[in-house]
Amino acid sequence: MLLVLSEEHKEHLVFLHEVDSAVVGEFGRIAVEFIRKGSNPKIYEGAARKLNVAVETVQHGVEGLMYLLTESSKLMISEVDFQDSVLVLGFSEELNKLLLQLYLDNRKEIRLILSELAPSLPYYHNLEWRLDVQLASRALRQQVKPVVSFRLQLDSNGTRRFHALQTDPATLLHLIQELEQALAEVKTNHCRRILRNIK
């Protein structure tokens, strides 16, 4: 699977053409450090002074490398696919090898960091439901008042939580129609293109 780079991302990485491989290696080290601990503007300023360029140029270069490493690690692309993805940037053979080595050395750690950052969402475990119908009361002798009660069980980090829900059949039918419409929308070509780009 090839990594598709946007034009903006390519522009951010163009700066790496102008510096030697030692600087690119240092930028790679800084990018991995920023993935671990977060961004530090002081490092951008120090590097910009040494290279006599704008701070934004250094920041874009490092952030471009961070994006390249995180997306490649997220997709676990192979060595050949990584080289083919970087080939569109027009780097020298030496720079391509340096980026490949940087990716291979750090992809497991980056995947571990990304997995820790991912939110832990609760997921469905079980659903129990019951239909109650009130046929009469002291005030009204003839009435039909149906109510659907649910007991939803969700798992979150090994703990189970129960949620009690109650609705009338008309609202439940409307909810079912909306969910079915959303599922049908996901199957359209337009939505599939968007999902492909998100992954």
Q: What is the Cα–Cα distance from 24 to 95, expressed in whole angstroms?
A: 8
The total number of structural domains in the chain stands at 3
Instruction: Tell me which residue range forms the domain holding 21.
Output: 7-117
Q: How do residues 156-168 score in pLDDT, each as one tens digit?
A: 878 899 999 999 9
Mark whether 107 and 197 lie in a shared domain: no
Please give the backbone phi and psi of residue 156, each rounded to the nearest 5 degrees, phi first.
-145, 110
Mark whether 95 and 14 lie in a shared domain: yes
Give the residue from 103, 80, 83, 104 showing the smallest Cα distance to 92.
83
Q: What is the Cα–Cα distance from 100 to 24, expressed in whole angstroms?
A: 12
Mark whether 18 and 112 lie in a shared domain: yes
Give me the pLDDT at residue 52, please: 80
Give me the pLDDT at residue 130, please: 94
Mean pLDDT of 17-30: 78
Residue 6 vs residue 127, higher pLDDT? 127
Mark whether 110 and 130 lie in a shared domain: no
Give the residue from 143, 125, 126 showing the smallest Cα distance to 134.
143
Q: How do residues 27-47 score in pLDDT, each as one tens digit?
A: 888 888 888 887 777 887 887
Q: Which residues contact 193 (CB under 8 A, 6 or more apart)?
A: none
Q: How do residues 96-113 score in pLDDT, each as one tens digit?
A: 888 888 888 888 888 888
Domain-located, residue 1: no
Domain-located, residue 113: yes
Mark whether 155 and 113 lie in a shared domain: no
